[in-house]
Structure 1
Amino acid sequence: MSETGLETQVSDLTFASKAGALNVNISFVKDVSEIQLAKNDSMLMIGKSKDLKLVQHSHLSSVLTKLQIPANWYNESINYLCPQKKTDEDTPKPANGNTVSWLNKLVINTISGKFSRNNTPSRAHLISKIVKSNCFSENQVILIACERRNAVASACAVARSFPLYTSKTNDSKKQRNVAVSFLFTDNLTSGSINPTDDEVKCFNAVAESVRLTAKIVDTPCAEMTTNNFLDEIKRVAKDLGLEPMVIEGEELNNRGFGGLYNVGKAALHPPKLVVLSNLKPQAKRTIAWVGKGIVYDTGGLCIKSRAGMCGMKQDCGGAAGVLGAFYTAVKLGFEDNLHAVFCLAENAVGPNAYRPDDIIKLYSGKTVEITNTDAEGRVVLGDGVAYARKDLKADIIVDMATLTGAQGAATGKYHAAVLTNSEKWESACVDASKLCADLCYPLVFSPELHFSEFNSEVADMKNSVSNPSNAASACAGLFIHSHIGPKYDGIWIHLDIASPVSDGDRATGFGVALLNSLFGDSSLNSAFKLLGPTTTLPLKNEETESDD
């Protein structure tokens, strides 16, 4: 690259210092010109080549001047990263594109614009990797050039790059400040290149919720017992002006929640069913999000191996995702009735632990023969979805859980598995997942072929399959579905997030964006409305067959 005109005295400049991803305050702003920066601060620009080439120096002149970035260096860098010739753009590049840097004060990184039909157009997973590897200075600006529809996915990608939980003793306690903004390249001609106030409110809310969800999942059980999880729910409820309904301990057993009670009765801290409700007088539908909240899963008496048990603090990822999603939905405004149901328990080993061969009655009234105490998630969710149907009268029930290891084999580490009794809602889940980057892909829904895996001689069903090679992840979902009852004609959606709940040793905050995007047509926020279904989806399951 030519250095013509770069007469700035380099001796007067210093490199922006490398910084960490912990103890970070994130804020989304409308325009980068609003941000107060010093010459030792830094900026990270991310975008596809086609988007970055549209970002002119004039869009960023105030920031670049504060950071002492020469104008001609910026222009030549954009020309280098984003060639004008089509033939140059077609040259193979790494997935995370190319990068240039001016003393780490301005890092410009292109990401690949190519994506397959089952990936997100935002390429949000690449954004997270880039942000994590480019943390510089005490104050940093992140600017993302993208189309407006990709902004929510990109905001979540930035948020999950800065986890909240840590017990490291040698980390600096000094807080870093990261300000994030967008330039929308599909609105350059209309002049609406910056987010609206409503969109900024969305980005801040969803980022807060993603980080909250990830924090709960990252926190070890010694600090995130069922009591601690309840405290997190109460904090969210207080912020939203709501009061949680709690059923716990022996009261669960007395009221017929045999699944949740038996799974959690051996633990020091009692199992709980917790419900948050946001009711609207003019609601057109009632929605229940049900989350599996196993704060630790030893496997019970069918105990896991050492290697298999490590990481089981993440088994509350479904409930954590529901809490984060509910917080975002209500904070931004939600026009329909929305319930969040949390099935909280610790699957512990002890004298009072439930056993293989035990027969327990769930809230649905059905009996279950326990053949595997490590298949506990479906048992607690059986109670949760039955409550959503019987007591909450939900038209749509969504359960979300880190349910099976088989999910990873079926749909991989990035895509949650979706199982539903409605083909239209199945398509809606996949479409919403691509827009928000909480990806999902369908499992086969065929109860008449698969539910026989749970046949029992002494109870209504067993809790684990006889043949693990026969669609095990789908079968686990069908177990949950069976406790809604055959007469339920509403919509049921099951999301198995066992693999995408984490990336390496860190939680991803999965589920917050997916649930809010899937029900974006109920949101009062423009950013989620943009991602929501464009047609009215059914409230009744239209696929039930009759024996005519």
Structure 2
Amino acid sequence: MEIGSFDAADASLKFGAAAEEAALNTNVVVVGSLERLRDAKDCHKLQRVLEASPDKMQLITSVARAMSAKKDGASARELYLLPEPVETDERSGSVRRVCLIALPSACSRHNSPARPHALTSCLKGNAGPGSLTVVAMLDDPSLAFATGCAIVRAFPTWVAQSSTAAKMQSKKINVIFDAPDNEAIPEAEIAVLSWAARAIRFTARLVDVPCNILNTTEFVNQARVVHALLQSTLQARGEEANAVSLEVITGEDLAAQGFGGLYGVGKAAAHPPALAILKYYPPGTSAADQATIMVGKGIVYDTGGLSLKGKTGMPGMKKDMGGAGGLLGTFRAAVGAGVPKKPLYCLLCLAENAIGPLATRPDDVHTFYSGLTVEINNTDAEGRLVLSDGLAFAA
């Protein structure tokens, strides 16, 4: 069993004009505030996707007007449109499924006005079978980025069951934005969103994969995949390929170079701990310039070490690498979209907190990269141990 290639998942996702060209009209989900959904009959993009008559657009509007917005969660209604009759009184084409998702009326000051939490949750349960087109009726064009990211979170790309995995990866998702007064979303913003959305699915896939597949060695391989992708991207836009680089320090080399915290956490595992260092220098910058540095915790599995977790505390610990996974996705998206204006570094502190003859014991004393010696009282505090080395190296 493998993680597999991300190429198919990346190609299946389209936004903006590309989505409009590829739009499928047999399964259409329309998302937005209740106020916008109630104006669906005036949404020309939706009408074009559905190839719907004015009467059918009025029907969609009537269904929306019968809906009520929830305070906290999104609500959904489903309807089916029969194909238009032709001159022979027979109907040609396919039945079209339309699902309306009304976003909640309330939004705390800590939340995006796009209500991404409610959108993702409701879309997961109402996406319907197979490929789909999502028409996002925005209250404001500025909400396109948050809305697009929330939509793709509803569509993971990895599951262990092979038949389900094949369906997930072949699922085409076309996202079309409709803003008030037909205001267009700038193509530059769509390009950044495309990189961000693909990075979200990439990260989600890493988090979903168990440790017997995504061990530290495979995580480093995924960093190499990102490195190779970004090198080709830089070349395509006229930058030097070596403006992005990857360095990996692993196993005994970590101990030799003073990374006692990271090495101590991962030394008992079958796959060695590693520090993966990705660097990007935008045009006109160098290592001497002030940089942005991201440091991520990448514990591919956390048993707790000799301070062993219980049977209810250990399941799910494959997700303990989510920090490093998120930052690897962030690096991929930021560099790919050409966002950084100053050097960007991404440090991935990778280890499996396993038990065995070589495992760190409570009472052991390790020398960290900072030069400080630390007595270990709880081996289940591995996150701060690996990040301490990463932060000291970054400094």
TM-score > 0.5 by shorter chain? yes
1:311 paired with 2:316, answer yes
What is the CA–CA distance in structure 1 between the aligned matches of 2:382 and 2:291, rounded to whole Å?
A: 27
Long gaps (5+) in structure 1: 1-21, 83-88, 390-548
> Which residue in the other structure is 2:175 paired with?
180
User: How far off its partner does 1:184 sit?
Assistant: 1.9
> Which residue in the other structure is 1:72 paired with?
58
What is the CA–CA distance in structure 1 between the aligned matches of 2:72 and 2:199, rounded to whole Å?
A: 32
Long gaps (5+) in structure 2: 1-7, 82-95, 232-243
> Which residue in the other structure is 1:444 paired with?
none
Q: Alignment partner for residue 110 of structure 2, among 118, 131, 142?
A: 118
What is the CA–CA distance in structure 2 between the aligned matches of 1:71 and 1:347, rounded to whole Å?
A: 57
TM-superposition CA deviations, 1:115-163 (whole Å, max 9, x none): 1222222110111122111222433110111222222221121111111
User: How far off its partner does 1:318 sit?
Assistant: 0.5
Gap change, CA 1:57 and 1:339, over 3 Å in 2: closer
2:225 corresponds to which letter in structure 1?
R
- Helix, strand or coil: the match of 1:300? coil
1:101 corresponds to which letter in structure 2?
L
User: How far off its partner does 1:181 sit?
Assistant: 1.5
What is the CA–CA distance in structure 2 between the aligned matches of 1:173 and 1:32, rounded to whole Å?
A: 22
Gap change, CA 1:152 and 1:58, over 3 Å in 2: closer
1:102 paired with 2:80, answer yes
What is the CA–CA distance in structure 1 between the aligned matches of 2:126 and 2:134, rounded to whole Å?
A: 10
Q: Could you tell me the TM-score, scaled by structure 2's length? A: 0.83
- Helix, strand or coil: the match of 1:133? helix
1:348 paired with 2:354, answer yes
1:268 corresponds to which letter in structure 2?
A
> Which residue in the other structure is 2:207 paired with?
217
> Which residue in the other structure is 1:430 paired with?
none
User: How far off its partner does 1:317 sit?
Assistant: 0.6
User: How far off its partner does 1:36 sit?
Assistant: 4.5
What is the CA–CA distance in structure 2 between the aligned matches of 1:225 and 1:160, rounded to whole Å?
A: 24
Q: Alignment partner for residue 383 of structure 1, among 379, 383, 389?
A: 389
1:62 paired with 2:52, answer no
2:187 corresponds to which letter in structure 1?
D
1:363 paired with 2:369, answer yes
Q: Name the structure with the higher helix share.
A: 2
1:279 corresponds to which letter in structure 2?
Y
User: How far off its partner does 1:93 sit?
Assistant: 5.8
Please show how residues 485-500 of structure 1 align to structure 2 within 5 Å.
none
User: How far off its partner does 1:363 sit?
Assistant: 0.3
> Which residue in the other structure is 2:341 paired with?
335
Gap change, CA 1:248 and 1:23, over 3 Å in 2: closer
Alignment RMSD (CA, Å): 2.4
> Which residue in the other structure is 1:45 paired with?
30
- Helix, strand or coil: the match of 1:305? coil
What is the CA–CA distance in structure 1 between the aligned matches of 2:110 and 2:194, rounded to whole Å?
A: 27
1:30 paired with 2:22, answer no
- Aligned residue pairs total 353
What is the CA–CA distance in structure 1 between the aligned matches of 2:353 and 2:148, rounded to whole Å?
A: 35
Q: Is the 8 A contact 1:297 1:312 kept in 2?
A: yes
What is the CA–CA distance in structure 1 between the aligned matches of 2:301 and 2:61, rounded to whole Å?
A: 53
Percent identity of equivalent pairs: 35
Q: Is the 8 A contact 1:265 1:271 kept in 2?
A: yes
Gap change, CA 1:32 and 1:298, over 3 Å in 2: closer
- Helix, strand or coil: the match of 2:160? coil
Q: Is the 8 A contact 1:30 1:182 kept in 2?
A: no
Q: Is the 8 A contact 2:72 2:106 kept in 1?
A: no
Q: Is the 8 A contact 1:27 1:180 kept in 2?
A: yes
User: How far off its partner does 1:69 sit?
Assistant: 7.8
1:131 paired with 2:123, answer yes
What is the CA–CA distance in structure 1 between the aligned matches of 2:374 and 2:78, rounded to whole Å?
A: 60
Please show how residues 125-524 of structure 1 align to structure 2 within 5 Å.
125-146=117-138, 147-171=140-164, 173-174=166-167, 175-185=170-180, 188=181, 191-192=182-183, 194-241=184-231, 242-280=244-282, 281-282=284-285, 285-333=290-338, 334-389=340-395
Gap change, CA 1:243 and 1:372, over 3 Å in 2: same
What is the CA–CA distance in structure 2 between the aligned matches of 1:51 and 1:285, rounded to whole Å?
A: 45
2:29 corresponds to which letter in structure 1?
L
Q: Is the 8 A contact 2:38 2:61 kept in 1?
A: no
Gap change, CA 1:51 and 1:73, over 3 Å in 2: closer
What is the CA–CA distance in structure 1 between the aligned matches of 2:328 and 2:53, rounded to whole Å?
A: 40
- Helix, strand or coil: the match of 1:263? helix
- Helix, strand or coil: the match of 2:14? strand
User: How far off its partner does 1:49 sit?
Assistant: 1.8
Q: Could you tell me the TM-score, scaled by structure 1's length? A: 0.61
2:191 corresponds to which letter in structure 1?
K
